[in-house]
């Protein structure tokens, strides 16, 4: 009975990890698209300086 519970627990952990990794990949793709769009769609420059879409 204990080995069966361990196998089921392992399967549940691996399923959860797989779902989390897939979700993280989608988040990474969305962040990459927003980052690339930031280079294409820039706000207008103010005060004669070149405008940057990020603040660092």
How confident is the model at residue 51, as a pLDDT?
60
Whether 25 maps to a domain, the answer reads yes
Whether 56 maps to a domain, the answer reads no
Question: What total of structural domains would you count in the chain?
Answer: 1
Q: Which residues span the domain enclosing 36?
A: 1-42
Residue-wise DSSP of 1-52:
-HHHHHHHHHHHHHHHHHHHHHHHHHHHHHHHHHHHHHHHS-PPP-TTSPP-
Give pTM, 2 decimals: 0.56
- Note the pLDDT tens digit of each residue in 1-55: 888 888 888 888 888 888 888 888 899 999 999 888 877 776 665 655 666 655 5
How confident is the model at residue 29, as a pLDDT?
92
- Note the pLDDT tens digit of each residue in 38-52: 777 766 656 556 666
Whether 55 maps to a domain, the answer reads no
Whether 51 maps to a domain, the answer reads no
Whether 24 maps to a domain, the answer reads yes
Whether 38 maps to a domain, the answer reads yes
């Amino acid at each position: 009975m204990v080995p069966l519970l361990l196998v089921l627990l392992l399967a549940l952990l691996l399923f959860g990890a797989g779902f989390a990794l897939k979700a993280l990949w989608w988040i990474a793709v969305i962040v990459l698209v927003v980052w690339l769009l930031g280079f294409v769609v820039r706000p207008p420059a103010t005060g004669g300086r070149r405008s940057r879409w990020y603040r660092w």
